[in-house]
Each structure stands twice: as C-alpha cells, then as structure tokens.
Structure 1
Amino acid sequence: MRASLPAGDRCGGGALSGYPIDRIYEEVAFIAYYMHWAHDDIMAMDHRERRRWCDEISRIHRKVSKEPKNIFAT
C-alpha cells in the first residue's frame, strides 16, 4: 500500500479523497488482528463495509469482555 493516496484514488469501490490514510491503516489493522483476514480482502471492501466490520467486532469484543465466561463455549 502506498504511504499516501492522491485525491480521487479508489480502493475497493470507495473513493478515498479526504479520508485520512492513518484511519485506513487503523481499520485494516483492526480487522486483520481480530478476524485474521488477508490485507487484500480487507482493502477490497469499501469504506462503509470496513467501518461496519470494525463496529461489529468492537460490539462483540465489548460484550465478551463483560462476560465472566466464554459465551461461545458449548
């Protein structure tokens, strides 16, 4: 990935003009860390879809962190 993207560059169908590159790195790292998905798969998502996954992962993490036991155990 380039260090900066010129205005109007597109990635995964979403325009990146005006969207901070540091924020993109943060979203990609967050999703990759928790979901173990490949960089190219995450970058193929548009901004809205990446944000949605970040929100869902955060919601699950908050819920699990408050539970005294593993809620996914059978």
Structure 2
Amino acid sequence: MSSLSAGVGSGARPTGGIIGYPLSRLYEEVAYLAYHFHWSYEQLIVMEHSDRLQWVAEVAKINQRFNEPAGRFELE
C-alpha cells in the first residue's frame, strides 16, 4: 500500500491547501484589496484563498490599464 493510501485509510488527514502559505503574502493580499475596495479585514480573511487571489489579479489588471499612456485605458 502506498504511503498516501495508508495515511488516508488510517484516518490521517491529507495535507494541502494553503497550509504553510506565507503570512506576509496573506497580509499583502488583504491590504491590497482593503485599500482598493475598502472591504474589512473580516470580509477578506474569511474569503476563499482562490477567490481572494482572483480579486487581487483583477485589481492588478485594472491598475495596469490605468497606468498605460493617456487615452489607452478601456474597460473590457
């Protein structure tokens, strides 16, 4: 039996997700979204990790377009 199968079969919980995600990175994401959307810490910290990263990416895209030369900004 593989070590994964043995661990799962014995009731051990598989690891994964954001366990070990750098706390400094989490704070960056929360601060970035709080700054741009004025969402509270409580709203942001309970958000699913993948959702929070998607919002960070969307804000980054908007900021990038705003920083393009004058006259070239368009919302998609």
> TM-score, normalised to structure 1's length?
0.68
When the two chains are superposed, the root-mean-square deviation of aligned CA atoms in Å is: 1.8
SS at match of 2:67: helix
**In structure 2, what is the Cα distance between the partners aligned to 1:57 and 1:30?**
9
- Give 1:1-74 correspondences, 5 Å limit: 15-68=17-70
Question: Whose Rg is larger?
Answer: 2
Q: 1:67 offset after TM fit, Å?
A: 4.6
Structure 1: where are the runs of 5+ without partners?
A: 1-14
Q: Which amino acid aligns with 1:27?
A: E
Bigger helix fraction: 2
Higher relative contact order (CA 8 A, sep 6+): 1
Q: Which amino acid aligns with 2:48?
A: D
SS at match of 1:37: coil
**In structure 2, what is the Cα distance between the partners aligned to 1:50 and 1:66?**
25
Aligned length: 57
Q: Percent identity?
A: 33
| Runs of at least 4 residues off by over 6 Å | none
**In structure 1, what is the Cα distance between the partners aligned to 2:36 and 2:63?**
9
**In structure 2, what is the Cα distance between the partners aligned to 1:63 and 1:21?**
29
Structure 2: where are the runs of 5+ without partners?
A: 1-16
